[in-house]
Amino acid sequence: MSYCLNPACPNPENLTNTEFCQACGSKLLLRDRYQVIQSLGQGGFGSTYLATDQSLPGTPSCVIKQLRPTSTASNVMQMARDLFRREAKTLGKIGNHPQVPRLLDYFEENQEFYLVQEYISGFTLQQEVKANGPFTEAGVKQFLSEILPVLQYIHSQQVIHRDIKPANIIRRNQDAKLVMIDFGAVKDQVSQTATSASEQTALTAYAIGTPGYAPPEQMAMRPVYASDIYALGVTCIYLLSGRAPKDMDYDPATGELLWQKYVHVSDHFIEVLKKSLEVSVRHRYQSAADMLRALDLEPYMDSLAKGLTSQPTNRNQGYGRGGPDTGGGAGLPSSMARVAMGIRARQNRSDSASPTSEFTSGRTMGRPGQTGGTKGKTGSSAGDRPKVPAKLDANGLQIAYNRGKRDFSLHDFTQLSLQRYNLSGANFNQAKLDKVNLQGANLFSADFGKASLSGANLRDANLGKAYMSYANLQGADLRGADLTNAYLANANLRGANLCGANLTGAKVTDEQLSLAKTNWATVKPAGKRGLF
């Protein structure tokens, strides 16, 4: 289908190959390039559409945001133009983060403004809750462990999102990562300059955020970084209860949202949420790092550490796993890096929990050292070696992954059949995966540092951005595997079959590749095919 963007069109739907709208005669191919397929939604300031870029090979999908002012008065048009340029500038500045959509194009046409962004395939958290019901406490802590580092990065760029809510967070199908969208209400600088009354009125109409999620100071046009923390707290309440803030009462004396009767979580988590939802900015968490420090995420350290290392990178490189070129924390604000290092240090000192104890309850997870958490003695000295986890079978691995576990370091998966499994972002550091069958598996951004993969079947696997430093891949079958931007420094590739593999942007030396099998279909790190 080809969709007409004329706001006055009585019937915007047309056949795919139609050049002009059959209802109003408008040209359908926007800027002689973008074919709009369908409407994705409408707001007070414009509409969003799914489109394809006809000028590029494969006609990739993209999202077109049409910013359409409700008035053509000169002051409104100027304000709309300013907001449009501000959103484009902001997206261009922060769009290098892997969990923020990239800005692809922007232009003005017929007094309407268009932003073209990367299309994120997936479902919003609002859609997830409506389809599957509310999250558990464990699920919300997993959510926070991933989204707080993204928010910290956005704030480090002097940007306030101002419209964080479940409908603006998508779980990407490709790798199950959370992506923050819709930066139309952003404030790209924190200023103490007073806003004029006329500007307040205009901005209130178009770019204040969503009532119920926006805190009082934002409604008064004085947003700060902590305003996003409040919206994130309200988002957590929605995820836990399935209720939007408009469906809850407020304390008439204080203006506080009365949410506690709708959620059933630990006392400590209630206190964390209460502080994120303080009406007074002074008493609220001032940053994402502050909220991370306050959260009791000990049972979730695996996923939190993974979220904290999900650092902003150039997408043409994007190793992000702490190899020699990244330093293990490059791109993270120092406070976040310290939190990540603290978590890793505690992990190294802790006994490894049994693989099943972590999932005995959706809301209560045993800590290492507590009854049922581990077998044997607890409180081992720093010099003791960590206990090797019990071996998981294929079914146990899939169940653990689906329940949110991502750390499978030191596990033994020798000779398991994991064909076409989705294990993106999992940590297999120092794990035994000899002769494992991972053909066609999704291992995007997985950590195989120092893992043993000798004789493994990785044919046609997605290993994009995988960290494989010092991994043993001797004799592994990597035919047709996607190793785009993979980090293979010091990996053993002797006898590995890389025929037809895509190594574009991979960190690997010619000496390593000379030990592997390649052919004319192997794509070199520089992006060209041919023998090494």
Let me know whether 103 and 147 are in one domain: no
Looking only at the bridges linking them, the beta strands covering 29-30 and 2-3 are unpaired
Q: In terms of C-beta density within 10 A (0-12 exposed, 13-18 middle, 19 or more buried), how is residue 406 classed? A: buried
Tokens at 452, concatenated: 């043993």
Contacts of 140 (CB under 8 A, 6+ apart): 236, 239, 240, 265, 269
CATH number of the domain to which 509 belongs: 2.160.20.80
CATH number of the domain to which 29 belongs: 3.30.200.20
Helix (H, G, I), strand (E, B) or coil at 49: strand
Let me know whether 153 and 16 are in one domain: no
Let me know whether 114 and 134 are in one domain: no
Let me know whether 129 and 108 are in one domain: no
* 379 is a domain residue: no
* 318 is a domain residue: no
The residue from 82, 105, 163, 228 that is catalytic is 163
Is residue 249 annotated as a catalytic residue, yes or no? Answer: no
Element containing residue 307 per DSSP (H, E): helix 301-308
Let me know whether 60 and 154 are in one domain: no
* 373 is a domain residue: no
Let me know whether 43 and 106 are in one domain: yes
Q: What is the number of alpha carbons within 13 Å of residue 443 lying toward its C-beta?
A: 30
Q: Going residue by residue through the chain (532 aa), what tens digit of pLDDT does each one get?
A: 888 888 889 999 998 888 899 999 989 999 999 999 998 877 655 788 999 999 988 889 999 988 776 666 777 777 777 777 877 887 888 877 889 988 899 888 877 889 898 999 899 999 999 998 999 998 999 999 999 999 999 999 888 888 899 999 999 988 889 999 887 655 544 433 333 333 333 333 344 678 899 999 988 888 899 999 999 999 999 999 999 999 999 998 888 999 999 999 999 999 999 999 999 999 999 999 999 899 865 444 444 444 444 343 443 333 233 333 333 333 344 444 555 555 454 444 443 333 333 333 333 333 333 333 333 333 333 344 445 566 688 888 888 888 788 889 889 999 999 998 999 889 898 899 999 999 999 999 899 999 999 999 999 999 999 999 899 999 999 999 999 999 998 999 999 999 999 999 999 998 899 999 999 889 999 887 755 5
The boundaries of the domain holding residue 238 are 122-192+201-313+325-338
Q: What is the number of alpha carbons within 13 Å of residue 122 lying toward its C-beta?
A: 24
The predicted structure's pLDDT at residue 346: 46
Let me know whether 99 and 132 are in one domain: no
Helix (H, G, I), strand (E, B) or coil at 482: strand
Let me know whether 99 and 85 are in one domain: yes
Question: Directed axis angle between helix 267-276 and helix 137-156, to 10°?
Answer: 30
> What is the C-alpha separation between 285 and 209, in angstroms, rounded?
20
Contact present, 483 and 476 (Cβ < 8 Å):
no
Considering only CA atoms, which of 271, 238, 235, 277 is closest in space to residue 257? 277
DSSP 94: H
> What is the C-alpha separation between 39 and 27, in angstroms, rounded?
17
Let me know whether 167 and 293 are in one domain: yes
Quote the pTM value.
0.56
* 388 is a domain residue: no
* 377 is a domain residue: no
Contacts of 61 (CB under 8 A, 6+ apart): 50, 51, 52, 53, 119, 121
